[in-house]
Chains A and B, each alone.
Chain A
Amino acid sequence: MQILRRGILASVITLFWAPGLGRAAEEPVVAAASDLQFALAEIRALFAAQTGRDVRLAFGSSGNIARQIRSGAPIELFLSADESHVLALARDGLTEGEGVIYALGRIVIIVPHGSPLEADGSLEDLKAALARGRVEKFAIANPEHAPYGQRAKEVLIRKDLWSALEGKLVLGENVSQAAQFATSGAAQGGIIAHSLALSPDVGRRGTFALIPADWHTPLRQRMVLVKGAGSVAREFFELVRGPGGRAILKRYGFTLPGEPG
């Protein structure tokens, strides 16, 4: 009995000690802006099918990921939702050069089913609804560190809606959480990434309309390999910028570099 018990204990300890469980170095961490939540999951599946290898995806706001890379997080590839965070990391010598632009992002206004708002890309209906007091909560990503939140703030300021809306905003920690807030039914709508609205999981919860691209600073989405990145991360980087990755990104509404919007 004693021996059996010791045996069980020993095997439990070996199991948890096994390095493979905690750190699969051969499966690098790819950290990405959460507008890529659905597109990158497909690219990962394609990667696995083509190479038999896998990566670990971690999503968040670009600002938070950049801060994590500065703190020494074991991230090998960073796909940002804009380029400022990548360029700042590159300036500080944390990355392999400045990387490449892999896509241009678009923003949409999304309203859940049953909302008093209309999905109107000109934001005129939002303006009218605000004037009539039909908007209680409106979701965007946190403009402090999420690029999609910054662009949402830009268009709201441009349309003179920011001051009226500011007290009614619910801020997602990243654009995916903003999408979740916007379509939960607890808010009347929100401004989120086109790529998220195009996924069936989000799309079936409401209707959306594109906001003109020239109303905000372009979302030039840049990705970069972090210094020390391994060969698997490099292969994944190549897949994202190659035809396989581009086809998937295009399906999720991204404008591709070198192609007309």
Chain B
Amino acid sequence: MDWTAFALSLKLAFWTCVLILPVGVVAGRALAWGQFRGKALLEALILLPLVLPPTVLGYYLLVGFAPGSALGRLFASLFGAPLVFSFSGILVASLIANLPFAIQPLERAFEAIPPAVREAAWVSGLSNWRTFLKIELPLAWPGLVSGLALTFAHTLGEFGVILMIGGNIPGETQTLSIALYDRVQAFRNWEAGAMAAVLLAFSFLAIAIVHVMARRRPWLHG
């Protein structure tokens, strides 16, 4: 078992979840209730990473953030290291790749809140902000947990993008799924086997959480 790779994977999944959570809540809520021009297009864009080959995302990041390019220089000046072959680089890639996994469950959860509930809150004199905090978020929490569980598990399993822009550097970009690939090439199958088992367990756990959350409708229990 490669603990460096395991810790790196957890770190990547943790920061992806932390950073994507506000995006998921704001975007999920806006998409659930908002009506605006280009909404269908925006939804399609957010869903795109579900079907987009990870290598395509990797290619664009590699080319777009090359050290010589304008974006690449901007990134390097902001984070002190180039995007390619660095932890911040795989974090950016992971955030993009996880947008649908975080936003979709939250959008569904907000959609499921009956308009009458929010209207009742407003009539009772709650501000928009307090309605969000006290009414909407507690009702949408199964979606939030599902979104985070999916994001976490999906990040642990991300392979294609990280292989392309990560460069297989231990402690920096060699996540557990990349380390697994690396160990098979190094004929260390027993180590690869341990990593495969860990990833399998995490994936199963995530799906179990999502499944349980999908059955939970707190507002029905009063």
Is A21 within 8 A of B170, CB to CB? Answer: no
Interface of A is mostly: mixed
Is A180 within 8 A of B187, CB to CB? Answer: yes
Q: Which residue of A lies closest to B88 (CB)?
A: A22
Is B172 within 8 A of A176, CB to CB? Answer: no
List B9-27 residues whose CB lies under 8 Å from chain A: 10-11, 14-15
Given contacts A23-B172, A180-B187, contact A72 B67 (CB under 8 A): yes
- Count A/B pairs, Cβ under 8 Å: 79
Q: Does A186 contact B (CB under 8 A)?
A: no
Given contacts A34-B185, A202-B187, contact A27 B167 (CB under 8 A): no
List B58-110 residues whose CB lies under 8 Å from chain A: 62, 66-67, 76, 81-82, 84-87
Given contacts A56-B169, A60-B168, A199-B187, contact A16 B82 (CB under 8 A): no
Q: Report chain A residues within 8 Å CB of B187.
A: 179-180, 199, 201-202
Q: Does B220 contact A (CB under 8 A)?
A: no
A19 to chain B, nearest CB (A): 11
List B141-169 residues whose CB lies under 8 Å from chain A: 167-169
Q: Report chain A residues within 8 Å CB of B172.
A: 22-23, 29, 74
A213 to chain B, nearest CB (A): 25
Q: Report chain B residues within 8 Å CB of A174.
A: 185
Q: Report chain B residues within 8 Å CB of A72.
A: 67, 76, 81-82, 84-85
Measured in the bound complex, the distance between the Cα atoms of B172 and A106 in whole Å is 32
Q: Does A24 contact B (CB under 8 A)?
A: yes
Given contacts A21-B11, A56-B169, contact A71 B82 (CB under 8 A): yes
Given contacts A22-B11, A58-B174, A74-B169, contact A176 B186 (CB under 8 A): yes
Given contacts A24-B171, A29-B169, contact A180 B184 (CB under 8 A): yes
Is A59 within 8 A of B186, CB to CB? Answer: yes
Q: Report chain B residues within 8 Å CB of A73.
A: 82, 84-85, 167, 169
Given contacts A176-B185, A180-B187, A199-B187, contact A12 B81 (CB under 8 A): no
Q: Does B119 contact A (CB under 8 A)?
A: no
Measured in the bound complex, the distance between the Cα atoms of B170 and A27 in whole Å is 10
Q: Which residue of B lies closest to A201 (CB)?
A: B187
Q: Report chain A residues within 8 Å CB of B185.
A: 34, 37, 59, 174, 176-177, 180
Q: Does B188 contact A (CB under 8 A)?
A: yes
Q: Report chain B residues within 8 Å CB of A59.
A: 168, 182, 185-186
A87 to chain B, nearest CB (A): 21
Q: Report chain A residues within 8 Å CB of B84.
A: 68, 71-73
Q: Does A130 contact B (CB under 8 A)?
A: no
Given contacts A176-B185, A201-B188, contact A27 B171 (CB under 8 A): yes
Q: Report chain B residues within 8 Å CB of A71.
A: 62, 66-67, 82, 84-85
Measured in the bound complex, the distance between the Cα atoms of B184 and A56 in whole Å is 18
Measured in the bound complex, the distance between the Cα atoms of B15 and A74 in whole Å is 22
A32 to chain B, nearest CB (A): 11
Given contacts A22-B8, A22-B87, contact A56 B14 (CB under 8 A): no
User: Which 4 pairs of residues, A with B, have the shortest CB-CB distance?
Assistant: A73-B85, A201-B187, A72-B82, A56-B170
Ordered by A's residue number, 23 sampled pairs between the chains whose C-beta atoms are within 8 Å are: A22-B8, A22-B11, A22-B171, A23-B87, A27-B171, A29-B172, A56-B169, A56-B170, A58-B169, A59-B186, A68-B85, A71-B66, A71-B67, A71-B84, A71-B85, A72-B76, A72-B81, A73-B167, A74-B81, A74-B172, A180-B184, A180-B187, A201-B186
B interface residues, Cβ below 8 angstroms from A: 7-8, 10-11, 14-15, 62, 66-67, 76, 81-82, 84-87, 167-172, 174, 182, 184-188
